[in-house]
Structure formats: C-alpha cells, structure tokens
Structure 1
Amino acid sequence: MVRTGPGKSNSQFGRLKNGETINVYAIKNGWAEISYNGKTGYVSEQYIKLAPVQQKIDKRWSLSAFDWKEFVDVVSKTDSLIWFYITCALGLVMVCIDWLYRADSDDFTDSATGFYVSSAIFLALCVSEMIYFATYDGDKTWFCSPDKVGWIWTIINFILFAMLLIKQVVSFSCLNYASCYHGKRNIDFRLGLYGWGIGIIAAVISVIFFDEYLYIVLWCVLGIQFLQIALLVYNNIQDGGNWLNLVYTIVFYVVGSIATLITLFHFLPLLVVVLIGYAILCFFSSSSGSARCANCRSYNNGYCYYKQISVSSGDYCSCHQYR
C-alpha cells in the first residue's frame, strides 16, 4: 500500500505491483519515501528491496563503490586457457608477419608503422603469457604431456612451441634494435641480454650449492638491467633521440624480458631440446654460405647497428652472425 505519510494512520492512495520498480528518495523509521504516479508517497520498508540492476550500475559507475578486490578475484578466476589460446594466436600472427615481409624485398620493421605494429603484437603476446602463467593452476606444459594429449599431439605441439619460442626470442632481440633505429639511438643490448643469461646460470648454481648467496645474484642481475636502461637513456641524450620512443623502448625491453624469462623458466626441460635444435639449424645455415646484409634487420643505409660499424657494401657483411 502506498500512503500519503509515513505511518499506517495515513490514508492510502495506491498499491505497488509485485516486481514493480520505483525510485526511493529516503528511508526513515521503517518507511520509504518514494515517487508514485508523479506524487510523493510512503511505503513500508519491509515490502521493498534494492533492485539487482540498480546495484550493478552503482558499482560500475561509482568510483568509491568500485570493489577492486572483487575485480582482481574475478580476473583470477577467469579461464586462463583462454589466455593460452590468445598467446598461441598472437605467436602465429608474428610468424605470419615475419613470413610476409621476408617474402618481400622491403623489411617490414624498417617502416615506423611496421615496427610499432610488430612490437605491439609482441607486447600483447608477452602480457597474455604473463597472465596465463600467473592464473593457470596446474601443469603449464600440459600440451606437451603424452598422458594428457597423446604422443602424436605432444610431438606436433612441441614442434610448434619450439618454433614460436625461437621466434619470440629472436623477435625480442631484433625489435629492441629496431626501436633504437626508429628512435635515432646507437645502443648495444648485449649487456642486458647476456646479463639475463649469466644471471640465470648463476642463480641455478647458487640454489644448488650456495643458497644463502641467491639474493646477491638477484641484486647483481637487477643492477646489470638498471645499467642497460641507464645506457639507453644516456645514448638517447647523446644522439638527440626521440624521448617518447625511449619510454616505449624501455617498456618493451622490461616487459619483453620478464615475459620471455618466465616462459623459458617454465619450459626449461623443453628449452634444452629447443636450443639443441636451434644450434643445429644455425650450424647448417651458417655453413651454406654468406647471408645478405640487405636481409638483416641491423643493417640500414650502409651502417650495421649490430656491430656499430659502417659497411661499404650491402651485399655481404663481415658480421659473425651472418657468415
């Protein structure tokens, strides 16, 4: 019953239907002040309740009412296999882009658009990898387990994974140099990249034999990475580079390093086989003859950004990577 005032002694002038939605202005002493047919009325609090739709809208649009803990909880309970499939899809996109621009004479990453498209896809790949590893509760190498997918799919998945992993590592290295090329900086990333590799080996040795010194190894690795970033900033100042590109390069290097290391760590047993296969491929490719500098991402307009030297001819290069 809708009454003219807050109390049963007040006269009735309407009746609410079951499930009807109304606007409530205030609730006091068990009576709710509402809007009814363009008039102000009162109804007992026990006959109304907060509409679920209104509650959802309030939580969505009110910053003070936003429950960050609930948001994190929802994200953590999201099916993490979706992120695994997203990672695979992005990896295949990277392979397709690599195949397309290698089929053409122009290097895709030589253009600013090509570089930012490739690096954006790589960053998306890294983010999806980190979410997958952070949220998936179980064996993260399930797709290479014969007892879960069978031997045939284990072999197929392993070959595909090896290709994508190699592509990710190579892309991470090449795109770092490409970012410096577009940012007009001359910088060598070998300090940071070798720092990660040596740090991982030192950390494994420390865990096995000198567990109490592990924190020293970690601080040394972080120090090397900080020095690598400092060199980026210094070279940007020296060369008058693009500061916006510098920020992008630092984000790309940090996110790419973390995601790639997490991936390599979780797939360490598979990594050994991948590295052996990659070494064999490199051996046969190097013995087949010299590679053309024109197809090298580190070469542009007579200058080798990998060796940081001028190259008189773009047909062949003395760089040890491309003998």
Structure 2
Amino acid sequence: MKHFIFIIILLSSCLLVTAQKKYEVTTNTFLNIRSYASTEAPVIGTIDDGGEVDVYEISNGWAKISYNDGFAYVSSQYLRESISNEVVSKKKNSNFKFDVSSLTFGNGGVEWMVFAIAGISVILLIIRKRRGDDPLEGTEYSINWILFLTVSILELVYISLMGSDAIWFCIPDKVGWLWTIIDFIIFGFVVYNQIMCYFNTLVDVEYNSGGGFDKRWGLYSWAGGVITAILSGIFFPTALPFILIAFVICQLIQIVLIFKGTLSYGGVGNAFLCTAVYLLGSLASILILAHFVVLLIIVLVAYFILSIIGKTSSSRGCCRSCSHYSGGYCNYHGMYISSPDSKTCDYYR
C-alpha cells in the first residue's frame, strides 16, 4: 500500500494544470486576432469591443488566447481582466478577519464547496479512525463509500469550475495572513485524509464485492503517463497523442480487470461501484494533491528566501559596545575593523 501512496505523491508533483482567465476587449471597434505574437502576423479573426477571451498567458505585450480549438494571439494593451474572475473581495482589514459573506460567488457560486469538502473530510476521518485494519462492512461501509464518492465529485466539480482560483483560501490578499496559515494546515489535512480514505475505500468495495482485482495497471499508468507526457512535451511533442492513447488503454484495462474480478461474485452493481471509486477517487485525489504540492513548493521557496535574507541581515553590523568586539578585532565576524572608533563595522556599512 505504501508504494501506491508514493506513486500518487510523485504523480501529483509532476502534474501540470493549464490555467486560464477571462479578459474583456476594450477597443472602440474590434481587436485583431493574429496567428502569432507579432504585428506582422496574419489576421485570422477579430473580437468586437466588450467581447471576452480565454487568456493562457501574457508576455511582451501579447496575450495567448484560445481560438478555434487552438491558440492565437491578441494585443494585451486592449484587454482588461473580466470581473467574473474575482472570487473573494480584496477589501480585507489588517486584523486578519475573514468574513464568509465577502465571497462574491463569481465562478458559478461554488466557493461553498470548500466548506462542504472540509466537513465531509472530518466525517471520513472519524470513520477511518474507527475502521482499524479490517475492511468496513454493513451500514458503516455504505456510509463511507457514499461520503467518499460525494466528496470526490464535489472536488472535481469545484476544481473544474474554479480553475486557477481553486486555492483562493490560501491567498493572503483574499483572506489575510492568519487565515492563510490556518487554511494551509486544513488543506494539508484534507489532502492526506483523502489519499488514505481513497485506498481504504478501494479495499472496502473490493472486499464487499466478494471478488478481487489487480490495481497496478491503473495506478502505475497514472504515474507513468504523466511523467512521460511531461518529458515528451519537452523533447518529443509529436509523441503526446500516442502517450495519451497508451494511458487510456491502461485505464480501460484496469476497468476490465475490476469488472472481471467483481462481476461474477458481486454482480453489476458492485462492479460499477468499484469502478466509480477507482476512477473518481484517483482523479480527485491526484488533482487536490497537485494543487497542494504547488502551494507547498511556493511556501518552501518563500521560506528559503526569507531564511537567506534573515541570515544576511543578522550577520551585518558590529557595535563597539558588543562583547565580541575588542581592540579593533571583531570576534563574531573574525576580522579586524578598519576604524575602531566607528560604531558599526565599515566592512558591513
């Protein structure tokens, strides 16, 4: 079981999610759409004033947009971010207060799912602690898989609708620093609990179906598929369609193995239940873990930078009155000071 968890963690750290944001056109007439980022590029279409476009990135005055199932470019000078991208009001005071009523519910009004997901995770944690080493049975088993599928569906819907704003609850500008820290800890708990509940629930439904199936095809293909897709995207972009086909085939094999192992013992209902827990659970677990890993990397990088700044600032300055200063020599820095009468070391001035 531990090697499965390692695979999921490895997979999530490699998962790349393309973020989009909506922008509104602000010209008086229309905005030209070009095939590449240059005024010399052919015009392949136009967008009227007030129209909206999905922007992937903005660089050197050009915005990369979604156009006809592909990509195109428009001048970013005539774009402004659509108000539909706003999730939470930025008017927060300095007392670290977070007011739930400040939510704007701009992305389909799904921000409430964060609280629902956290609440269900607490219930799943209680069931997991009561579970022990033996698979669940009876009423508790039914409650567990229902809650697990519910929270997995909520997570998939929430992430698909919120996009790049999915982790708004860990952004200081939106909720304040205190709630950012608290929410980060809660987020970590939800992610860890999700992974543990996924493997437990998968074992439970397999046991209660009366059959058994090999999980390696599905779980290993997640890791292998994403890693090879990233490497292929960097070195061999033309191989991406073949990698996708191979990944889909591996997932279909996993579904066949689930049905083959459970159909004759537990019937069609249990076969579909095992398949739903595997597919929805794995996808939801990987997506939320990917979001958390990205956030964790940002936190670690920030901590590393701050620690370097702290060490640099703490090493500067040497007062004549300090205990480590004597006869023009600084014992703390291990060097002579050029001007013993100065209060601070000239070298660090």
In structure 2, the residue matched to 1:256 is 281
Contact 2:210 2:265 in 1 (8 A): yes
1:93 maps to 2:123: yes
Shift of 1:128: 0.9
Once the two structures are superposed, what CA deviation does each residue of 1:263-306 show, in whole Å capped at 9, x if it has no partner? 234444136699xxxxxxxxxxxxxxxxxxxxxxxxxxxxxxxx
Q: How do 1:197-208 residues align onto structure 2 when only pairs under 5 Å count?
A: 197-208=223-234
In structure 1, the residue matched to 2:294 is 269
Once the two structures are superposed, what CA deviation does each residue of 1:142-169 show, in whole Å capped at 9, x if it has no partner? 2222333333322222222112111111
Who wins on radius of gyration, i.e. which is larger?
Answer: 1
Q: Distance in 2 between matches of 1:77 and 1:270?
A: 21
Q: What is the TM-score normalised by the length of structure 2?
A: 0.50
Q: Partner amino acid for 2:281?
A: G
SS in 2 for 1:123: helix
In structure 2, the residue matched to 1:160 is 186
SS in 2 for 1:110: coil
Contact 2:202 2:274 in 1 (8 A): yes
Q: What is the TM-score normalised by the length of structure 1?
A: 0.54
Unaligned runs of 5+ in 1: 1-74, 275-323
Shift of 1:194: 1.6
**Which residue of 110, 117, 140 corresponds with 2:136?**
110
Unaligned runs of 5+ in 2: 1-104, 300-349
Q: Distance in 2 between matches of 1:176 and 1:273?
A: 32
Q: Partner amino acid for 1:85?
A: F
Shift of 1:172: 1.2
Q: How do 1:66-215 residues align onto structure 2 when only pairs under 5 Å count?
A: 78-102=108-132, 107=134, 109-136=135-162, 138-215=164-241
In structure 1, the residue matched to 2:100 is none
Contact 1:133 1:140 in 2 (8 A): yes
**Which residue of 233, 248, 273 corresponds with 1:222?**
248
Q: Distance in 1 between matches of 2:191 and 2:213?
A: 25
Shift of 1:247: 1.4
Q: Distance in 2 between matches of 1:137 and 1:164?
A: 19
Q: Distance in 1 between matches of 2:117 and 2:185?
A: 16
Q: Distance in 1 between matches of 2:298 and 2:137?
A: 35
SS in 2 for 1:174: helix
Once the two structures are superposed, what CA deviation does each residue of 1:1-52 show, in whole Å capped at 9, x if it has no partner? xxxxxxxxxxxxxxxxxxxxxxxxxxxxxxxxxxxxxxxxxxxxxxxxxxxx
Contact 2:149 2:281 in 1 (8 A): yes
Contact 1:236 1:242 in 2 (8 A): yes
Shift of 1:139: 2.1
SS in 1 for 2:278: helix
Q: Distance in 2 between matches of 1:117 and 1:170?
A: 16
In structure 2, the residue matched to 1:43 is none
Q: Partner amino acid for 1:97?
A: I
In structure 1, the residue matched to 2:271 is 246
Higher helix share: 1
Shift of 1:89: 1.4
Shift of 1:77: 5.9
Q: Distance in 1 between matches of 2:239 and 2:151?
A: 34
Q: Distance in 2 between matches of 1:250 and 1:76?
A: 34
Q: Distance in 2 between matches of 1:112 and 1:208?
A: 50
Q: Partner amino acid for 1:185?
A: G
Shift of 1:179: 0.9
Contact 2:209 2:270 in 1 (8 A): yes
Once the two structures are superposed, what CA deviation does each residue of 1:100-147 show, in whole Å capped at 9, x if it has no partner? 445xxx85x421322221111011101111221122265212222233
Q: Of the two structures, which has the highest relative contact order with CA contacts closer than 8 Å and spacing of 6 or more?
A: 2
Contact 2:191 2:292 in 1 (8 A): no
Contact 1:83 1:132 in 2 (8 A): yes
SS in 2 for 1:80: coil
Evaluate the alpha carbon distance shift between residue 234 and residue 172 of structure 1 in structure 2; reply closer, same or farther with a 3 A threshold: same
Higher strand share: 2
Once the two structures are superposed, what CA deviation does each residue of 1:163-203 show, in whole Å capped at 9, x if it has no partner? 21111112112211211110111222122112112212222
